[in-house]
Amino acid sequence: MVFGLVVLILVLFGLFSGTTMISGKARVKVFFDKKILLEKDYKIKTSTLMKVIFKNRANFNKFYSANKDNPHVRDFSCINEEIYSDLERVIKQVEYDSIDSRLIWDKHKAEFEIIEGKNGRIVNRNSLIENLYRNFGREINIELETEEIPQQVTKQELKKRCMERARFSTYFSSSSANRKHNIKTATHRLNGLKIAPNEVLSFNDAVGPRTAENGFLQSKIISGGAFITGTGGGVCQVSTTLFNAWVRAGLEVINAKNHSLKVSYVPPSMDAMVSSRTDLILKNNSPYDVYIKAYTQNDSVNVIIYGYEMKQRIELKSQIIKIIYSNGYDEIDRPVDWKEGETVRILAHPKNGLISAAYKEVYEGGRLVSSQKIRTNTYLAQRGKLVRRKIIPSEEKEKEPEESTFKLVDHYAVSGIDDRIAFLINLVSDAVGKSKVLSFFGFRSLLY
C-alpha cells in the first residue's frame, strides 16, 4: 500500500531513471540547418506514461523498440495527438520534390536546349521517430535528417538523347533555278520534325503534294523511264538524302523505291524516289524521340538525324551486279538551227542501264562487324536521240514547183506582159532557168 502511494507520487512529480526523465509533459524542439522550426510543449497521455513506467522501466526508447510496428506509436498519437500534425507541417518546410531536366526542341531552328533540373529533398522519417523516442524527456531536441531525391532524368542523360546519329549530303550546283527552288522548298518542310518512338514518317505527308498551289515549280522529272518536264522536279533528291541519313542512323525503312533511271547525285541503289503514287515511309524503331535537321547550303542539301547516342557507325555501299547495254539511237523530227556542213545533231547519247545492290555495313570502333544486303534495284537503259538533216539535191533547188507556172503567168500579166510571151518564158525557164530567160527578154526587174 505504501509502495503504490510512493509510485503515484513519483509519477505526479517526476522521476529520473538513468538519463531518461519521466514527466507528464515534454517540450519538443526541432532544428534544421541550425534553425528552430518547432518549439512546443506537449502533455503526455497518462495511459502511455503508465506503460512506459511499469513495462519499460520508464524508458521511452525501450517502449518504442517493443512497439515500433504499432501505427499509433509511429505517428506519436499514443503520446499526444498534436505531435504528428505539427511535425508534418515542419517537414513540408524542408522537403521538396525533384525536378527532372528537360529537353526542348526548337522545331523552327532545329536546335536543342537542355534546362537542368534539380534534385529533391526528403526527411528521413524513420530517423525522426527513433530520435524522438531516444531523446524523450522534459526537453527533446531533434535535428532533422534529410536525404536527396535524385532526378529521374538528368542533364547528362538528356545529352545522350540528342546526339547526332547520322548525316548525309547531296549536291545540286548544276540544277536549274526551278529545280533548286523545289529542293529548298521540300528541305524546309522536313526541317524540325520530331518522330516519337514507333511513329511512322511519310515523306509525302511532310512535304505535301508537288503542285503549283503548294509552292513547287516546273522542272525535269523521271516518268515512264524518261526525263520529262513536270511540277516538283528535284524533290526526289531531298527524299534520297533523307533516306540515306535515316539508314545510317540505324532506323527502320518501311518503303523506299528507286527511280526507273539512274540518277547522278547518289550511287546506284542509294536513291529513293517519291511521286503522287509512291511514298518514302520511315519508322522510328528506337525507344527515344528522333529529330530531323534539314537545310540547304552552298548548293547542297543536308539531313542530320538526332536521337539517342549510337555505339556503332553505319555506312551504305553500292555494288553494280550487271550492266544493261543501250541499243542505239532513236531518230526524231524536230526543228534544228543547222550549222554549215552539219548533217546529224545528237540530242542525247545512249546510256547503259544496270542492276545494282546496296549493302548496310556496321562498324564498331572502326572495325566492320556486319554487312547486309538491304535492296536490289534495276535501272533501265536509255536510247540516244538524234535529228538527221534532210538534204535537198542541188538540181531540185533550182526547179520551181509545177503549179508555180500559173502563178508566174498571173504575175507577168500584172506587169503588162502578153500571155503568150509569159507562157513562153515559163516554158523555157523550166529548161534553162528563169533568170536567164527574163534577162534575155529584158525583164530583169521581175527577178526582184
- Would you list the DSSP string of 347-363? EE--B-EEEEEEEEEEE
Produce one character per residue of 416-446: b if its CB has 16 or more CB atoms within 10 Å, e if not.
ebeeeebbebbebbeeeebeebbeeeebeee
The radius of gyration computed from the CA coordinates of the chain, to the nearest angstrom, equals: 48
Q: Kindly provide the residue ranges of all beta strands, DSSP E only, lying in 6-151, ordered along the sequence.
A: 15-17, 20-22, 25-32, 35-43, 102-106, 111-115, 120-123, 139-143, 146-149
Question: Given this model, what pLDDT does residue 223 score?
Answer: 78
Q: Where are the alpha helices (DSSP H) in 208-281?
A: 235-248
Question: H/E element holding 320?
Answer: strand 313-324
Contact 34, 47 (CB under 8 A): no
Q: Checking phi first, is residue 110 left (phi over 0); if not, alpha (psi -120 to 50) or beta?
A: left
Q: Kindly provide the residue ranges of all beta strands, DSSP E only, lying in 34-162, ordered along the sequence.
A: 35-43, 102-106, 111-115, 120-123, 139-143, 146-149
Question: Given this model, what pLDDT does residue 137 score?
Answer: 81
Question: Given this model, what pLDDT does residue 445 score?
Answer: 43
Record the cell numbers describing residue 179, joined without a space. 529545280
Chain center to CA of 66: 63
Produce one character per residue of 220-249: b if its CB has 16 or more CB atoms within 10 Å, e if not.
ebbeeeeeeeebbbbbbbbbbbbbbbbbbb
pLDDT digit of tens for each residue in the chain (448 aa)? Answer: 544 554 454 444 444 443 344 568 889 999 999 899 999 999 999 998 898 888 888 898 899 999 989 999 999 899 999 999 999 999 999 999 999 999 999 999 999 999 999 999 999 999 999 998 998 887 899 999 999 999 999 999 999 999 999 999 999 999 999 999 999 999 999 999 999 999 999 999 999 999 999 999 999 888 777 778 889 999 999 999 999 999 999 999 999 999 999 999 999 999 999 999 999 999 999 999 999 999 999 999 999 999 999 999 999 999 999 999 998 899 998 888 899 889 999 988 999 999 999 999 999 998 999 999 999 999 999 999 999 998 776 544 554 554 444 344 444 443 444 544 544 555 445 444 555 444 545 544 444 4
Question: Given this model, what pLDDT does residue 13 score?
Answer: 44
Contact 200, 281 (CB under 8 A): yes
Length of the chain: 448
Question: Given this model, what pLDDT does residue 291 score?
Answer: 98
Question: Given this model, what pLDDT does residue 24 score?
Answer: 83
Question: Given this model, what pLDDT does residue 446 score?
Answer: 43
Residue 383, C-beta contacts closer than 8 angstroms, at least 6 positions apart: 326, 327, 328, 329, 330, 350
